[in-house]
Amino acid sequence: MKNIALFISFMTMGITLNSCSDHSVETVNNVPDKVILTIDGTEKIFTDVSVTESTYTNADQNIPTYNILATNGNDNGEFVAFQIGRDYTGTDGLYEFIYTTATGSKTISDNFSFNISQNSNNRLQGNFSGPLFDNAEAETPSATVTGGSFDIYL
């Protein structure tokens, strides 16, 4: 739970600091940034995407990361936030993932599948799926993500 609160605080700081970032939510080559996922059969599309850079500290390592915050443009409190390694592709680059609605936040477990297929040429792409939990200690999933994908220009 402490990790979720810390991550939300971190992402909030990232939103504030993003106004100084080079990344904008504008389209590149007429392709908008987007994060898409289906939760328990309902498709969610997030096109207001911000990216900030930071460092994830794990044991004795400081790993450069991208922090992605995606909202749906509605002021309903729904967003997806995740932190990935800046230099990673494949399945080992995810450090945090959270899905939040007005009623609460959900996090992932080891059974969540996340693959970064492109992390070059100023573009991030990948896909994800798996169970979501109400908190890190929960044993039973409260929702399931299918067909998750992201396509983000840096």
For residue 15, what pLDDT is reported? 43
Q: What is the pLDDT of residues 36-94, one digit of tens each?
A: 999 999 999 999 999 999 998 888 889 999 999 999 888 788 999 999 999 899 998 99
- At residue 5, does pLDDT exceed 50? no
pTM tops 0.95, yes or no = no
DSSP 46-100: E-EEEEEEEEEEETTEEEEEEEEEEE-SSSSS-EEEEEEETT--BSS-EEEEEEE
Q: pLDDT tens digits for 85-130?
A: 998 999 989 999 999 998 899 999 889 999 999 999 899 999 999 9
The whole-angstrom separation of Cα 18 and Cα 95 is: 20
**What is the distance between the alpha carbons of residues 70 and 112, in angstroms, rounded to a whole number?**
19
Q: In the prediction, which pLDDT does 74 show?
A: 80
Q: For the beta carbon of residue 111, count every other beta carbon within 10 angstroms.
A: 10
What is the model's pLDDT at position 24? 42
Residue 14 has a pLDDT of 45
CB atoms within 10 A of CB 55: 10
pLDDT of residue 115: 97
pLDDT at residue 31 in the model: 59
Torsion angles phi and psi, residue 105, rounded to 5: -110, 155
| Higher pLDDT, residue 46 or 13 | 46
Residue with more model confidence, 12 or 133 = 133
